Amino acid sequence: MAAGIRNQYEVVIGLEVHVQLLTRSKLFCGCSTRFGDPPNTNTCPVCLGLPGALPVLNRDAVTMVMKAALALNCVINPQSRFARKNYFYPDLPKGYQISQYDEPLAEDGWLEIEAGGSRKRIGITRVHLEEDAGKSLHEGFPDSDRASYIDLNRSGTPLMEIVTEPDLRSPEDAHEFLTRLKTIMLYLEVSDCNMEEGSLRCDANASVRRAGSAVLGTKTEVKNLNSFRFLQRALAYESERQIELLENGQEVVQETRLWDSREQKTYGMRSKEFAHDYRYFPEPDLLPLVITADWKEEARSQMPELPDARKQRFTRDYALADYDAAQLTSSKALAGYYEEVVKAGAEPKQAANWTLTELLHLLKESKREIAASPVPAASLAELLRLIAEDAISGKMGKEVLAEMFNSGKSAPNVMAEKGLKQMSDPEEITAAAREIIAANPKQTGQYRSGKAATLGWFVGQVMKTTRGQANPQVVQEILKKELSAVKE
């Protein structure tokens, strides 16, 4: 589609995000929430939906939702209520899901994102707590033996649902929002946010309207978005599809659509007429959820410094560039590692450079996370001190770090084994420089007749004969002096 046409429209997006909470047991029973156990082994009368079984609320799940809601600047309601959401599906044994409806645990918050170089607040409509359903597994092909299996291990696992206002204005906004949301959840340790395992799921609502219009267009909801890339692609596809409909004088139909990642398309799943009527009503087996001031304080006291605050502190206290601070605080473990390097005595900017470039590169190559770094923070700090003291050059330092990474040895050990040390002694370097000059009268003549670039060639020669151990700055100084002192 021509950009000219696209620019006449504004895209409006709101997200509904489900986050699986990291509790050890389920929301209303004591069954384990562990992923990957043999099917139907983590079940009991409550999560199997057997008649007469009664739910008992998991306190940790509530505390976790409160932490997340506070991080999203929400109001925590002193009283909220669980509700039954009725629908029929094989993986929902009770015939209803216990969720929250008109009285959610938290509402009315915001999360700031970076969009087009400035920051803007995305409203959070509500944050509530609900239970997950089980999983159906379908096997076989049309016209052959087909079988469906049911695994109720996930039935009753706690989920937090976060709903945004329609404040996002592009697929990139949506991507940025979800990225920030995920980082916060990981900082809070309320979820592992593993998209492949379904711990983070996102449905996207999108509409388009003529630029400048104050009324919202008709929206569609896209489900099945199990990666950040798919979210962005599906929204790009969906907004173009809607613009094309409007351009052709047609209307957008309010419906639920699915993202097909193979076809890179969305397709209609159910229209409004077939929308579920969930017949919500208050859950009679659970009391209203009352949040005391103490409980809220308890949740607040468990919150770590959040990514944005940490990033600001990094730029302020360590004088880091915005970009570096953002990179370092993109994960709690990485930020923690960096601060340990600094606390062990490294200069903050040097520590940031080495952590972000050299160390992350080595980790990426060996497909390891920062938490599994074979180089502890204190060892990196030690290496950086040796470089700062000119005991070795930065260039050698990189080789040493790679060896430390592979062997788990300390910088001094690696250097001793390799016979590496920085040569800074002017006498040694002068001797090497004189030898090179004496052996190369042609280049010496060129330099002296004004071809300054020849100096680089001389530096290279001296570095070569000293096996890279000479301090390049010192080499350059000495060469300049020696070259101008040559008698013709």
164 interacts with, out of ligand ADP, Zn ion, none, CB within 5 to 8 A per kind? ligand ADP
The minimum distance between CB 134 and ligand ADP, in angstroms, equals 23
Measuring CA to CA, which residue among 9, 16, 5, 21 is closest to residue 231?
16
The minimum distance between CB 210 and ligand ADP, in angstroms, equals 13
105 interacts with, out of ligand ADP, Zn ion, none, CB within 5 to 8 A per kind? none
Radius of gyration of the chain (CA): 31
Query: Which residue lies nearer to Zn ion by CB, 91 or 305?
Result: 91
Count CB neighbours of 452 within 10 A. 9
The minimum distance between CB 211 and ligand ADP, in angstroms, equals 15
29 interacts with, out of Zn ion, ligand ADP, none, CB within 5 to 8 A per kind? Zn ion
- Interface positions, 5-34, toward Zn ion (CB under 5 A): 29, 31
Is residue 470 within the footprint of Zn ion (CB under 5 A)? no
Is residue 44 within the footprint of Zn ion (CB under 5 A)? yes
The minimum distance between CB 170 and Zn ion, in angstroms, equals 42
49 interacts with, out of ligand ADP, Zn ion, none, CB within 5 to 8 A per kind? none
Measuring CA to CA, which residue among 142, 121, 151, 120 is closest to residue 37?
151
Structure-block tokens of residue 211: 């630029």
Structure-block tokens of residue 116: 């087009």
Residue nearest to ligand ADP (CB): 14
The minimum distance between CB 170 and ligand ADP, in angstroms, equals 12
**Strand order of the sheet with strand 106-115?**
75-76, 106-115, 118-131, 158-164, 9-20, 200-210, 220-225, 255-260, 265-271
Measuring CA to CA, which residue among 129, 120, 110, 16 is closest to residue 66?
129
Query: Which residue lies nearer to Zn ion by CB, 46 or 359?
Result: 46
166 interacts with, out of Zn ion, ligand ADP, none, CB within 5 to 8 A per kind? ligand ADP
Q: What are phi and psi of 169, to 5 degrees?
A: -120, 5
The minimum distance between CB 3 and ligand ADP, in angstroms, equals 22
Rounded CA separation 127/224 (Å): 21
Is residue 47 within the footprint of Zn ion (CB under 5 A)? yes
Query: Which residue lies nearer to ligand ADP by CB, 100 or 205?
Result: 205
Is residue 98 within the footprint of Zn ion (CB under 5 A)? no
Query: Which residue lies nearer to ligand ADP by CB, 216 or 287?
Result: 216
Q: What are phi and psi of 336, to 5 degrees?
A: -65, -45
Query: Which residue lies nearer to ligand ADP by CB, 14 or 397?
Result: 14
CB 225 within 8 A of CB 202: yes
Rounded CA separation 337/362 (Å): 15
The minimum distance between CB 110 and ligand ADP, in angstroms, equals 13
Is residue 133 within the footprint of Zn ion (CB under 5 A)? no
Query: Of 45-53, 54-62, 197-205, 262-270, which part binds Zn ion (CB under 5 A)?
Result: 45-53
Count CB neighbours of 201 within 10 A. 18
Query: Of 41-49, 185-193, 237-245, 474-482, which part binds Zn ion (CB under 5 A)?
Result: 41-49
Query: Which residue lies nearer to ligand ADP by CB, 164 or 329?
Result: 164
Query: Which residue lies nearer to ligand ADP by CB, 258 or 333?
Result: 258
The minimum distance between CB 98 and ligand ADP, in angstroms, equals 19
379 interacts with, out of ligand ADP, Zn ion, none, CB within 5 to 8 A per kind? none
The minimum distance between CB 219 and ligand ADP, in angstroms, equals 4
Query: Which residue lies nearer to ligand ADP by CB, 81 or 361?
Result: 81
Number of amino acids touching Zn ion (CB under 5 A): 5
User: Cα separations (Å) of 445 from 346, 434, 452?
Assistant: 44, 14, 11
The minimum distance between CB 56 and Zn ion, in angstroms, equals 10
Residues in contact with ligand ADP by the rule CB under 6 A: 12-16, 163-166, 205-207, 216-217, 219
47 interacts with, out of Zn ion, ligand ADP, none, CB within 5 to 8 A per kind? Zn ion
Which residues are at the interface with Zn ion (CB under 5 A)? Answer: 29, 31, 44, 46-47
